[in-house]
């Protein structure tokens, strides 16, 4: 498996926490020294392991925000 590098630039919010302590978080992360992107995924209690997640560019977040703002949530 190819090695990858990440840097959590900003921890924005914890969206939920499981009974086992894993936290679903919204963060700004730079993957492999690239431009930071918004990222939603679960992290282990010690922050060393991560689950599968979704990474969104700034443009994608702007589109999502516009869609959510137009919905009754």
For 17-27, the pLDDT digits (tens) are 999 999 999 99
* Strand ranges, E, within 1-73: 6-17, 23-31, 37-43, 50-56
Task: Reply yes or no on whether the pLDDT at 73 is more than 80.
Answer: no
Tokens of 38: 């918004």
pLDDT band at 4 (very low <50, low <70, confident <90, very high): confident
28: nearest Cα among 57, 52, 64, 49: 57
Question: Model-level pTM?
Answer: 0.88
Q: Which domains does the chain have, with CATH numbers?
A: 6-69 (2.30.31.70)
pLDDT band at 62 (very low <50, low <70, confident <90, very high): very high
Tokens of 68: 């959510």
């Amino acid at each position: 498996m190819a090695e990858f590098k990440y840097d959590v630039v900003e921890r924005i919010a914890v969206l939920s926490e499981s009974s086992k302590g894993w936290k679903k978080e919204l963060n700004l992360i730079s993957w492999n020294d690239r431009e930071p992107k918004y990222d939603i995924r679960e992290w282990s209690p010690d922050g060393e392991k991560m689950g599968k997640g979704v990474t969104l560019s700034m443009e994608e977040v702007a589109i999502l925000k516009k869609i959510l703002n137009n919905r009754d949530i």
